[in-house]
A = this chain, B = another copy of it.
Amino acid sequence: MNNFTFFSPTKFVFGKGVENKTGDLCKQFGANKVLIVYGGGSVVRSGLLARVEESLKTANIEYVEFGGIQPNPIDTKVYEGIELVRKENIDFILPVGGGSAIDTAKAIAVGVPYEGDFWDFYLGKAKVKAALPVATVLTIPAAGSEGSGDSVITKVDGMNKLGLGSELMRPKFSIMNPELTMTLPANQTAYGIVDMMAHIFERYFTNTKNVEVTDRVAEGLLIAIMNEAKKVVANPQDYEARANIMWSGTIAHNGLCGVGRAEDWMTHCMEHEVSGLNDKIAHGAGLAVIFPAWMTFMAKNHPYKVAQMAERIFNVEHVGSDEEIALKGIAKLREFFAILNMPKSLSELGFVKSDIDTLVRKFHQNNGEKIEGVYYTMTPEVTRAIYEIAL
């Protein structure tokens, strides 16, 4: 086990009706004037925005609305938000929505007190030293952004997705009402489930030895997510299953599953190129295609941990080689993704063989020519082999 620091100071307020506590919580955390960051019309239509605003009014907190954030959020909205916050003397950023609204809010939060271009942080040219406080009202579980210090934004110029992590971007509090997720369309629900599983897998697949406690926690979470996901597919109005899924999304990504171990994240990086090339593709859909492909390559070349997953999570019998055991586990994972009606291949997502050159090129442009993934070294040959399995 490696030395580590675990710090998850976000206050999670979870359950039915908790959005009505937004104003009190904002007050408790020192807000005077709030920027409400949100996406399309669904938070308006559902009445959520009105309830949040009512709660702010009751607590005597001013607010400014800032809507129109799209999935795979882009930098132009970040610039617009920074300008608005400066103009309006806003001191607190409150995204109401899913990962896109929250990630945009975080980018605005670090951009406001910085004199240069906020991209400097995401490009590694500058280090975050200050940020406005952020808190969230979560409507789409999965991104885990409500409990993490991470943000991913798409640079419109070049359509690159770039990520940033900073403790200063961790939300002060996150309001999580599972009822708000009950009207999510089936595909969005499913994308989220895949994404939270991937957040666990990226930490689970490590070469750091002697991490039994965190392995077992991760395995327990993955089993629970799949059990509850099947209930949600059968009955989208199942509050209890929605609640279990929503909370899983948070602990999948607040750092708990990554303590004491190197984390991989190669699959996420590979997926970012997929949805980066076509912003109609949901991150979760891309992951559902890439993760089994990545695992299949690893089953051949580096099977140990994939085999452990197969045995402990999918109850595959300990018979045959690690590769055989691993492949049986991957088959079961694919069966589960099929229940979620996820795409099975890049072809299904509209990619053709010649696109692989672009994917490989962009992956290594963004991540380096040879990347020491903590589980396996990624060279262009490896990346290509995995994208080809995914095709």
A228 to B214, CA, bound (A): 12
A10 to B10, CA, bound (A): 10
A238: min CB distance to chain B, Å: 9
Residue of B nearest to A240 (CB): B210
A350: min CB distance to chain B, Å: 35
Residue of B nearest to A248 (CB): B213
Do A259 and B244 touch (CB < 8 A)? Answer: no
A225 to B260, CA, bound (A): 16
Do A6 and B2 touch (CB < 8 A)? Answer: no
Give the size category of A's interface with B: 35 or more
- With most chain B CB atoms within 10 A of its CB, the pick from A13, A210, A211 is A210
Chain B residues positioned under 8 Å from A213 (CB to CB) = 221, 224-225, 228, 244, 247-248, 251
Chain B residues positioned under 8 Å from A18 (CB to CB) = 3
Cβ contacts A220-243/B at 8 Å (1 or 0 each): 110111011000000000001101
Contact of A1 among B211, B216, B243, B259 (CB under 8 A): B243
A60 to B102, CA, bound (A): 40
A288: min CB distance to chain B, Å: 21
Do B260 and A247 touch (CB < 8 A)? Answer: yes
Do B260 and A14 touch (CB < 8 A)? Answer: yes
Any chain B CB within 8 A of the CB of A15? yes
A241: min CB distance to chain B, Å: 8
Asked, given contacts A219-B220, A220-B220, A251-B256, whether A244 binds B14 with beta carbons under 8 Å apart, the answer is: no
A241 to B213, CA, bound (A): 10
A210 to B2, CA, bound (A): 35
Contact of A4 among B4, B14, B17, B216 (CB under 8 A): B14
Do B240 and A1 touch (CB < 8 A)? Answer: yes
Any chain B CB within 8 A of the CB of A11? yes
Could you list 19 examples of A-B contacts with CB < 8 Å?
Answer: A1-B243, A3-B15, A6-B11, A6-B14, A7-B10, A8-B8, A14-B259, A209-B240, A210-B241, A210-B244, A212-B227, A213-B225, A213-B228, A215-B224, A216-B220, A216-B221, A217-B220, A217-B224, A220-B221
Residues of A within 8 A of B (CB): 1-18, 209-221, 223-225, 227-228, 240-241, 243-244, 247-248, 251, 256, 259-260
